Structure 1
Amino acid sequence: MTETVRTGGCQCGAVRFRIKGQLGRPSICHCRMCQKQFGGFFGPLVTAKGEVEWLRDEPAYFQSSINIARGFCKQCGTPLTYKHPGGLEIAIGAFDDRSDLAPQIQVNYGSRLPWVEQIFSAPIHEDPNYYSQQEQIISFQHPDHETENWPAHGMKL
């Protein structure tokens, strides 16, 4: 039997990780601290049950409360981890492959924004010219796979 190995990292590629072994249950947290950490409507996280290996730099941490430290890339600011007395959680969006990490539970549901359940009923913006223009942009974002080296200022994709 082969061991599950997952990889991921921040937007700029300065922090990369590899996790060997199973992950816990994916979740979203509606607490105000997660909203602020992610700059979004909730915090999507999954427990790292296996061994976490930092392949490049490690996250910097902000102690957000007495028992909680929130990790992020000190170069680009990407939110990466939620460290608590029970373990370490990793931001779902930081994984290279997120396809099977659909949240299975919501926590701090009472703190959710009152309109969050309606956001996917908003009109969809579909402009083929807009998206073709985006393809011409030179991206500094690290690709969703391991790289031998990563230029400090990205590369044209």
Structure 2
Amino acid sequence: MTGGCQCGRIRYAARVDSDEAYLCHCRMCQRATGGFAAAFVEVPTSAVVWEHEPDWYQSSPIARRPFCSVCGTPLGFDFIESNGRMDLTFGSFDDPSGFRPVVHAGSEGLHEAWLDTKNLPRQYSAATESVASRWKAAGLEVP
């Protein structure tokens, strides 16, 4: 499978052996992604080929995170003392639709109100005037 950052500077190809993904709710992942959780897919480190080496941030004494320093996209998580496996961010895959969440990690930071959102109203970008009109003014379709 392939993936990369938002601006396209960092691209990767990864051999993915499973459709399993997970959410990490720890405060480190919340801060690293700016979200209520980080969504990850675990892969063998040796199965990831970077077309352009990502930037790395040592986010704690035990881990580092690949990212793009141009657009800021978080690309994953890796223990410094590697166990031969690392995580790639779900959203950085070109087509993440085949993955399914199987576990909540870092549950001490879990925010229950953000888990079951099925009853919230849904807004679609192409139908949201403030978004769609800006894309149209830029001469582009809503991605």
SS state at 2:6 partner? coil
Can you give the 5+ residue segments of structure 1 that lack an aligned partner in the other structure? 1-5, 140-155
Q: Please name the residue that 1:152 is paired with.
A: none
Identity value in percent: 30
Aligned residues: 135
Can you give the 5+ residue segments of structure 2 that lack an aligned partner in the other structure? none
Q: Please name the residue that 1:52 is paired with.
A: 48
Quick check: 1:9–1:16 contact (8 Å CA) kept in 2? yes
2: distance between equivalents of 1:99 and 1:137? Answer: 30
Shift of residue 21, structure 1, vs aligned partner: 4.7
Decide which structure has greater helix share: 2
TM-align CA RMSD:
2.4
1: distance between equivalents of 2:111 and 2:91? Answer: 20
TM-score normalised by the chain length of structure 2: 0.81
Q: Please name the residue that 2:127 is paired with.
A: 128
SS state at 2:20 partner? coil
Quick check: 1:24–1:47 contact (8 Å CA) kept in 2? no
1: distance between equivalents of 2:14 and 2:57? Answer: 22
Matched residue type, 2:101: P
Quick check: 1:7–1:17 contact (8 Å CA) kept in 2? yes
Report runs of 4+ in structure 1 exceeding 6 Å deviation.
none
Does 1:17 pair with 2:12?
A: yes
TM-score normalised by the chain length of structure 1: 0.75
Matched residue type, 2:127: P
Shift of residue 67, structure 1, vs aligned partner: 1.4
1: distance between equivalents of 2:100 and 2:107? Answer: 17
27, 30, 34: which is aligned to 2:29?
A: 34
Matched residue type, 1:136: K
